[in-house]
Structure 1
Amino acid sequence: MAIKKNDTVRWNTSQGETEGTAEEKRTKEFTFEGQKFKASEDEPYWIVTSSKTGSKAAHKESSLSKK
């Protein structure tokens, strides 16, 4: 299940499952909105945009599922 840019994906939040769009794959350590993430080729992260709120967040690829 390879996620690609612009795929619709789902993830869990404290308010329940939400969905949005996969925007950008990160495979190296990065900072997003003041928080550090240790992405790698084996454990990539995606910057996703929520369909509900329009806000962006970083999520591990393993925590995302393709819709």
Structure 2
Amino acid sequence: MTRRFAIGDHVSWNSEAGRVSGTIIAIHTSDFDYKGHRHRASYDQPQYEIKGDKTDHIAAHKGSALDYA
């Protein structure tokens, strides 16, 4: 089962630039469009919007890609 996170949790993930960290700002439990792409999400497999710590960049990831920072 995929780990569940909450808004405000501080998490990290691997990116092209290496390990990145940020804070969860939204949780999607249904499909949504983000940066021109359709992201699949459900209650059982949510996607998380995360605001990066260093650049304020917003990213969307599945819970399986995230770890607590």
Q: Give the counterpart of 2:17 among 1, 15, 18.
A: 15
Alignment match, 2:58: 56
Count of residues in correspondence between the two structures: 67
- 1:25–1:44 contact (8 Å) kept in structure 2: yes
Gaps spanning 5+ residues in structure 1: where?
none
Partners of 2:53 and 2:43 lie apart in 1 by 27
Question: Alignment RMSD, CA only?
Answer: 1.0
* TM-score for the superposition, normalised by structure 1: 0.91
Q: Which runs of 4+ in 1 moved over 4 A?
A: none
* TM-score for the superposition, normalised by structure 2: 0.89
Gaps spanning 5+ residues in structure 2: where?
none
